[in-house]
Amino acid sequence: MVTGIIDTTIIVHLIRGERPALVWLAGLREPLGITTVTRMEIMRSENNKARRPLAKSFLDLFELVYLEHADQDFVIRSVEQDPGMGISDCMIAAVAYRLNVPLFTHNLADMRRVLPRWKEWLWLMV
């Protein structure tokens, strides 16, 4: 069972080899996961064939967590309340909400729109 969800922004920093992200990752002891949304976003964004294996190897470090029916209901309700909300962000946040685990992100502004009452779940990865 994962103890937190990592969103797409952090995976991007890891793939780019940014030192703070790599140090943060090296210090982890608990199993973290990524959603299927994050995996799809990263693989779609990697247009450079040479970089795809690196991206896939970073993604494979984390447990893949699938969306469930309840997650999709969460997204529908959230988007109905705030039509400008990012659907991908909402799907990632919904999984963290369902699992009751922290969401590790650099995207605090958008994620706070999705989880305004659950600020303690949003962790800024430095």
Q: Is the pLDDT of residue 30 over 70?
A: yes
Query: Measured between alpha carbons, how far is 40 from 28 in angstroms, rounded to an integer?
Result: 24
Q: Is the pLDDT of residue 31 over 80?
A: yes
Kindly list the strands in the beta sheet with 122-124, ordered across the sheet, starting from the edge strand earlier in the chain.
63-65, 33-35, 5-6, 103-105, 122-124
Please state, for a pLDDT cut of 90, what percent of the chain lies above it: 37
Q: Is the pLDDT of residue 91 over 60?
A: yes
Lowest mean pLDDT among 44-53, 74-83, 101-110: 101-110
Structural element, H or E, at residue 37: helix 36-45
For the segment(s) 5-124, the CATH number from 3.40.50.1010, 3.40.50.970, 3.40.190.10, 3.90.180.10 is 3.40.50.1010
Higher-scoring residue by pLDDT: 65, 50 = 65
Q: Is the pLDDT of residue 122 over 50?
A: no
Q: Give the residue extent of every domain in the chain.
A: 5-124
41 pLDDT tier (thresholds 50, 70, 90) = very high
